[in-house]
């Protein structure tokens, strides 16, 4: 542990060139596991979604899930990869209780998809990130380390294991090493994972939620002096949010530059990212690749996708998220930056559906990016789980457009909708929030305001129409905000004969 | 010998098997016999014969993504040496982290 102060990021990046690489794991959203028919529901009681196959009991024989193979090929195609015409699964042997078989069924030197790319946009410039491989494997069980103080394995006396997750199909996407990004490396790493997430989400093959672990990322970083050979890389794990991807690369660049500056050398190792401190610490030393003793899985026959099937899948790929964003930004009349905020907030599809349900682009965007985004943030849930549907938001906006709700009342109605009180019209009626459109009641309130403020009334009669604002305010107060300000203003001028 | 004592010791460590010094010699000898037998098969294979990993000439054997019944938690844990609160209880695994 060094005691000298770390250099600033700007200092580090001025002297060294980073090379990054990203390994991303996507847990597929199939109904059943990779090699058996066990369900894959998140949050089930421990060890209730297991069978002889995923528990590795003697004699159990795996059979591959067609939907997982298809999903992996679609991911490969969306990432511009070549699809293998013939490949095999392999056993990756290791001794650790997260896999009861003592091996993980994975792919080794014959991945299903190879040699693709993703175009990533940052501040108007496109960066092409090469994809080395996309392969299919199975997820591991979850271990709970007990007996220690920290929940980590250090100091723990035993581990409690739940195999519900063991055997869920997992797709690993590995980039080629990416040099030449300079100071932008951390931001581009983040932009890449964001784009990858959007692409996979658009395929509908995973919910790609980093906080639930269905999208996980390991970040490789190395530094070299300009013109020199690439340095030794470290692999940072435990990077559990998009923001952490950027921070992990940045902190590794700073740490490695400090080690190199002091004449030290970088050790090839796995490091853990700490969300709270924003830096990494060394993890377990990497076993040599040969220690896994990979060999072709004898219980699973080779995968040989029919080229016609692959072409069918290629033809049916959805619109690329980047093209869709560009198309919708134009249709909605918003800037690329605003569209990026919409996408980052997970609001794109919601706004699109709200517009399809009849709302204007501006109206739809206003509610999702305003009140509802704020509410989702407070509740720490995804925008899609905030409690309002696109149809409800469109209905709310229609009530506003029809003059039945003003902005303030609409917010209160939305609050009721989110709280599960029903559709906007029901909430409006139940809470008595409709704009007062009864002219009789409104006229009485206006007359009352005029009588109570004779000075203001006199000014208005003298032609100082701007003074009407004070009377509008008074009327809004007596109607508890349930009046349309424009109507009130017109009524005041009418009653005063102006 | 096609396999050394050290290699056997390495494999034993990876498999978490406690192997005595005498056993290392014995297993190295036994494994050597097996490897030599396999090597003889390799001698017969000419360059035009690709390595075989599967005895049956099949590809693309899949199942549909349809759930089948699982074991109950009780059944799943019934063969485990130890369990706690629905989970398999295993000794701490050393040397894997930090």
CATH number of the CATH domain containing B36 = 1.10.20.60
Has residue A88 been placed in a domain?
Answer: yes
Query: What are the E-state strand segments in chain B?
Result: 62-63, 83-84, 87-91
Quick: pLDDT tens for A124-155. Answer: 899 999 999 999 999 999 998 887 655 555 66
CB contact under 8 A, A67 and B86: no
Question: ipTM of this model?
Answer: 0.88
The residues pairing with A17 across neighbouring beta strands, listed in sequence order, are: A224
Domain extent at residue A349: 322-431
| pLDDT of the residue at B26 | 93
- Residue A187 forms part of a structural domain: yes
> Is the pLDDT assigned to residue A289 strictly greater than 50?
no
Burial class (CB in 10 A: 0-12, 13-18, 19+), A11: middle
User: Which residue, of A313, A334, A350, is where some domain finishes?
Assistant: A313
Do A409 and A448 share a domain, yes or no?
A: no
If asked whether residues A86 and A190 sit together in one domain, one would say yes
Contact between A33 and A169 under an 8 Å Cβ cutoff? The reply is yes
Half-sphere exposure of B35 (CA within 13 A, CB side): 11
**Which H or E element spans position A256?**
helix A242-261
HSE (side-chain half, CA atoms, 13 Å) at A6:
15
Cα separation of A160 and A146, whole Å?
7
Task: Determine the residue among B50, B56, B76, B79 to mutate to test chain A binding: the one whose Cβ has the most chain A Cβ atoms within 10 Å.
Answer: B76
**A78, A203 contact by CB (below 8 A):** yes
A24-55 residue pLDDT tens: 999 999 999 999 999 999 889 999 999 999 99
pTM confidence score? 0.80
pLDDT given for residue A155 in this prediction: 65
Both A259 and A336 in one domain: the answer is no
Q: Is B86 helix (H, G, I), strand (E, B) or coil?
A: coil
A147 in the same domain as A57: yes
The answer to whether residues A99 and A138 belong to one domain is yes
> How many domains does one find in chain A?
3
Residue A285 has pLDDT above 70, yes or no: no
Decide: A91 and A295 in contact? Cβ < 8 Å.
yes
- pLDDT (tens digit, 9 = 90+) per residue, B24-46? 999 999 999 999 998 888 888 88
Question: Residue A81 and residue A433: Cα distance in Å, rounded?
Answer: 56
Q: Are residues A167 and A97 in the same domain?
A: yes
CB-count exposure of residue A234 (10 Å: 0-12, 13-18, 19+): buried
Cα distances (Å, whole numbers) of residue A153 to A338, A414, A481, B15: 44, 46, 59, 20
For A155-205, what is each residue's pLDDT tens digit? 678 899 999 999 999 999 999 999 999 999 999 999 999 999 999 999 999
Q: What angle do CA A76, A80, A84 make, to 5 degrees?
A: 50
* CB-based contacts of A115, cutoff 8 Å, min separation 6: A81, A82, A130, A131, A132, A133
CB contact A469 to B (< 8 Å) = no
Domain boundary among A407, A431, A455: A431
Nearest to A96 among B53, B63, B96 (CB): B96
Please check whether residues A354 and A443 belong to one and the same domain: no
Question: Is residue A1 in a domain?
Answer: no
Q: What is the pLDDT of residue A445?
A: 84
- Using CA coordinates, name the residue in chain A closest to B89: A160
Q: Over chain B, what is the mean pLDDT?
A: 88
Q: What percent of chain A has pLDDT over 90?
A: 65
Q: Which residues of B touch A95 (CB under 8 A)?
A: 14-16, 93
What's the CA gap between A115 and A475, in Å, rounded? Answer: 69
- Whether A147 and A264 map to the same domain: the answer is yes
CB contact under 8 A, A38 and B85: no
Domain count, chain B: 1
């Amino acid at each position: 542990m060094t005691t000298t102060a770390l250099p600033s990021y700007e200092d580090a990046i001025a002297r060294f060139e980073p090379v990054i690489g990203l390994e991303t794991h996507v847990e597929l959203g199939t109904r059943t596991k990779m090699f058996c028919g066990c369900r894959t529901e998140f949050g089930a009681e421990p060890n209730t979604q297991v069978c002889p196959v995923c528990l590795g009991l003697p004699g159990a024989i795996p059979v591959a899930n067609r939907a997982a193979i298809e999903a992996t090929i679609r991911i490969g195609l969306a990432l511009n990869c070549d699809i293998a015409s013939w490949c095999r699964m392999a056993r990756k042997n290791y001794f650790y209780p997260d896999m009861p078989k003592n091996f993980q069924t994975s792919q080794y030197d014959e991945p299903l998809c190879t040699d693709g790319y993703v175009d990533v946009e940052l501040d108007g410039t496109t960066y092409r990130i090469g994809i080395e491989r996309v392969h299919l494997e199975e997820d591991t069980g979850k271990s709970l380390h007990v007996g220690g103080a920290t929940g980590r394995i250090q100091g723990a006396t035993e581990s409690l294991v739940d195999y519900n997750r063991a055997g869920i199909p997992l797709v690993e996407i590995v980039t080629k090493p990416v040099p030449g990004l300079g100071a932008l490396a951390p931001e581009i790493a983040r932009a890449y994972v964001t784009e990858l997430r959007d692409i996979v989400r658009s395929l509908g093959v995973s919910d790609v939620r980093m906080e639930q672990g269905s999208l996980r990322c390991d970040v490789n970083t190395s530094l070299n002096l300009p013109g020199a050979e690439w340095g030794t890389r470290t692999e940072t794990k435990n990077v559990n949010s998009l923001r952490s991807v950027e921070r992990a690369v940045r902190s590794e660049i700073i740490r490695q530059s400090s080690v190199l500056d002091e004449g030290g050398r970088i050790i090839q190792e796995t490091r853990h990212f700490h969300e709270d401190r924003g830096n990494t610490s060394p993890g377990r030393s990497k076993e040599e690749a040969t220690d896994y003793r990979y060999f072709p899985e004898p219980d699973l026959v080779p995968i040989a996708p029919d080229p016609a099937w692959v072409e069918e899948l290629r033809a049916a790929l959805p619109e690329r998220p980047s093209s869709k964003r560009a198309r919708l930004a134009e249709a909605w009349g918003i800037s690329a930056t605003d569209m990026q905020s919409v996408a980052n907030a997970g609001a794109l599809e919601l706004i699109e559906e709200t517009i399809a349900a009849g709302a204007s682009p501006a109206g739809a965007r206003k509610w999702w990016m305003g009140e509802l985004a704020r509410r989702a943030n407070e509740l720490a849930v995804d925008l899609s789980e905030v409690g309002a549907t696109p149809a409800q938001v469109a209905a709310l906006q229609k009530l506003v457009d029809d003059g039945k709700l003003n902005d303030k009342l609409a917010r209160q109605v939305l609050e009721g909708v989110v709280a599960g009180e029903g559709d906007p019209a029901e909430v409006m009626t139940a809470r008595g929030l409709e704009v007062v459109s009864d002219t009789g009641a409104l006229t009485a309130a206006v007359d009352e305001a005029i009588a109570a403020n004779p000075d203001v009334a006199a000014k208005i009669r003298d032609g100082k129409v701007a003074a009407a604002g004070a009377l509008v305010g008074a009327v809004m107060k007596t109607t508890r905000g349930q009046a349309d300000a424009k109507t009130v203003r017109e009524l005041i001028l009418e009653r005063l004969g102006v | 010998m096609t396999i050394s004592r050290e290699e056997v010791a390495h494999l034993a460590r990876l498999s978490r098997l406690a192997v005595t010094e005498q056993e290392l010699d014995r297993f190295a000898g036994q494994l050597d016999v097996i490897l030599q037998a396999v090597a003889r098969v390799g001698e017969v294979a000419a360059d035009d014969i690709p390595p075989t990993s599967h005895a049956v000439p099949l590809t693309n054997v899949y199942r549909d993504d349809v759930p089948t019944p699982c074991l109950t938690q009780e059944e799943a844990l019934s063969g485990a040496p130890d369990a706690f609160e629905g989970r398999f209880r295993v000794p701490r695994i050393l040397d894997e982290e930090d």
